[in-house]
């Protein structure tokens, strides 16, 4: 029987700070191989089908960009929240409300054609997401309410609201009673980037968002404020920073980005509103944020990895006949391993035998050195 002890490092380890996402990914692959073996599938073949085969053709890379775009957009916003020690868990809800708000024009006025339409939709999506995110921020600032629980409850509410919208007032009258809105006109669709696949402008938005937030966090006073308030609220107060204002700022920023992701997904890959518009992007983005070490540039890479878990899940379902829930399992394991590996940045791990040395033995041992 071994016991594990943590020994604090004198300073954070730069090596593990860089390596931990890679170690975590490797551990996830190993755990995944074991899981496949337990399911009775050849692990090597399964891992190939899951992680390599979805990347072998050009159109598949486009699909990866489509999956990664919302993850990156949302995660970049969440990284600001988490750095400020503010826990916005409801990005999925802000994504949904952003998608609904942005769809207002193309659904209610399907004849609009001008070049102003798309920018307006995106703007309304961002406003919708930010407004929805301002609810938990307001409750936290005004009533001291736990933002984790309120933002999460609002996810359920937003999904029921979307369900009502597409089954009720916004249902396509010509849609054979399917619960969905009219197909957006081509002027309301995000343009595709290249002829070789479906990837759209949303991916560019996500990269721009990541770079802008990276600039803010590393080059601007606001970024400094976020980091100070996150690591030491007391020190932040002395510097004249306000936690309340920060809660609003972080929630609105991440809400706006989640809303942008929502409307980009609807006007890009889907093309209409329907009861389910996200395979859990808002929750997977939490994993992306941590896997990217809360650094916007790292998040770009992490978003591609998580996007791959979605694609791999679909591929494995069709080629190996395993459940599509596998993607979620991989995502959950990945976050576990990332968090575990992050411990290595601040601590050295020591394995200690069950019998600790008796107290009087300790000085003797030290003398022997």
Binding site for another protein (CB under 8 A): 4-8, 87, 89, 139, 143-146, 148-150, 152-154, 156-157, 160-161, 163-164, 167-168, 283-284, 286-287, 290, 322-323, 325-333, 335-336, 339-340, 342-343, 347, 349
Helix (H), strand (E) at residue 7:
strand 2-8
The partner residues of 3 in beta bridges, in order of sequence, read: 352
Q: How many residues does the chain have?
A: 369
Least spacing, CB of residue 154 vs another protein, in Å: 7
| CB distance 110 to 172 below 8 Å | no
Cα-based distances in Å from 362 to 288, 314, 369: 45, 57, 11
- Which of 246/333 has CB closer to another protein? 333
| Minimum gap (Å) between residue 263 Cβ and another protein | 21
Beta bridge mates, 349: 6
CB-wise, 68 or 286, nearer to another protein? Answer: 286
Q: Work out the end-to-end distance of the chain between its first and last CA atoms, rounded to an integer number of angstroms.
A: 26
Beta carbon nearer to another protein, 117 or 333: 333
C-beta of 103 vs 267, nearer to another protein? 103
Q: Give yes or no for a contact between 5 and 345, defined as CB atoms under 8 angstroms apart.
A: no
347 vs 88, 290, 293, 340, CA distance in Å?
27, 18, 17, 11
Closer residue to another protein in complex, CB, 148/187: 148
Task: Quote the CA–CA distance of 346 and 359 in Å, as a whole number.
Answer: 28
Handedness of CA 278, 183, 133, 342 (dihedral sign): positive
- Nearest approach, Cβ of 287 to another protein (angstroms)? 7
Q: How far is the CB of 196 from another protein (least distance, A)?
A: 32
Q: How far is the CB of 34 from another protein (least distance, A)?
A: 14
Min CB(198)–another protein separation in Å = 26
CB of 48 to another protein, least distance (A): 20
Name the nearest CA neighbour of 317 among 305, 332, 329.
329
Which residue number, 90 or 106, has a Cβ lying nearer to another protein?
90
What DSSP line would sit under 292-351, residue for residue? Answer: TTT-HHHHHHHHHHHHHHHHHHHHHHHHH---TTHHHHHHHHHHHHHHHHHHHHHEEEEE
Q: Give 79 or 264: the residue with its C-beta nearer to another protein.
A: 79
Least CB distance from residue 211 to another protein, whole Å? Answer: 25
Q: Between residues 199 and 335, which has the closer beta carbon with respect to another protein?
A: 335
- β-bridge partners, 352: 3
Query: Which residue, 35 or 55, has its beta carbon nearer to another protein?
Result: 35
Burial of 366 by CB count in 10 Å (0-12 exposed, 13-18 middle, 19+ buried)? Answer: exposed
Residues 6+ apart with CB under 8 A from 285: 70, 71, 74, 75, 78, 91, 258, 303, 306
Angle (CA) 289 291 294, round 5°? 45
Task: Please say which residue, 209 or 326, places its beta carbon nearer to another protein.
Answer: 326
Q: Min. distance of Cβ 293 from another protein in angstroms?
A: 12
- CA dihedral 102→277→273→119, nearest 10 degrees, is 30
Please report how close the Cβ of residue 339 comes to another protein at its closest, in angstroms: 4
């Amino acid at each position: 029987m071994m016991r594990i002890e943590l020994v604090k490092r004198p300073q954070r380890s730069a090596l593990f700070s860089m390596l931990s996402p890679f170690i975590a990914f490797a551990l996830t692959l190993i755990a995944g191989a074991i899981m496949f073996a337990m399911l009775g599938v050849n692990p090597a073949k399964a891992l190939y089908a899951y992680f390599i085969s979805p990347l072998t053709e050009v159109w598949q890379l486009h699909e990866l960009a489509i999956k990664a775009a919302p993850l990156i957009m949302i995660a970049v916003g969440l990284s600001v929240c988490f750095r400020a020690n503010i826990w916005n868990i409801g990005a999925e809800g802000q994504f949904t409300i952003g998608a609904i708000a942005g769809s207002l024009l193309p659904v209610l006025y399907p004849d609009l054609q001008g070049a102003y339409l798309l920018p307006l939709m995106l703007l309304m999506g961002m406003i919708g997401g930010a407004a929805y995110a301002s609810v938990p921020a307001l409750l936290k600032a005004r009533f001291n309410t736990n933002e984790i629980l309120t933002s999460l409850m609002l996810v359920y509410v937003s999904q029921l609201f979307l369900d009502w919208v597409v089954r009720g007032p916004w249902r396509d009258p010509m849609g054979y009673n399917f619960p969905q809105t009219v197909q957006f006109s081509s002027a309301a669709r995000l343009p595709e980037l290249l002829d070789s696949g479906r990837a759209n402008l949303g991916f560019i938005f996500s990269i721009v968002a990541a770079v802008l937030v990276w600039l803010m966090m590393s080059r601007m006073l606001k970024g400094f404020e976020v980091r100070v308030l996150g690591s030491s609220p007391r020190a932040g107060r002395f510097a004249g920073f306000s936690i309340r204002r920060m809660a609003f700022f972080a929630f609105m920023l991440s809400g706006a980005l989640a809303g942008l992701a929502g409307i980009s997904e609807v006007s890009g890959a889907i093309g209409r509103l329907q009861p389910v518009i996200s395979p859990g992007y808002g929750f997977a983005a939490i994993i992306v944020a941590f896997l990217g070490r809360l650094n916007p540039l790292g998040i770009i890479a992490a978003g591609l990895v998580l996007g791959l878990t979605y694609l791999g899940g679909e591929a494995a379902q069709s080629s190996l006949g395993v459940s599509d829930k596998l993607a979620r399992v991989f995502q959950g394991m990945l976050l576990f391993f990332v968090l575990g590996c992050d411990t290595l940045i601040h601590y050295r791990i020591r394995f200690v035998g069950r019998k600790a040395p008796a107290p009087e033995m300790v000085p003797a041992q030290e003398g022997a050195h």
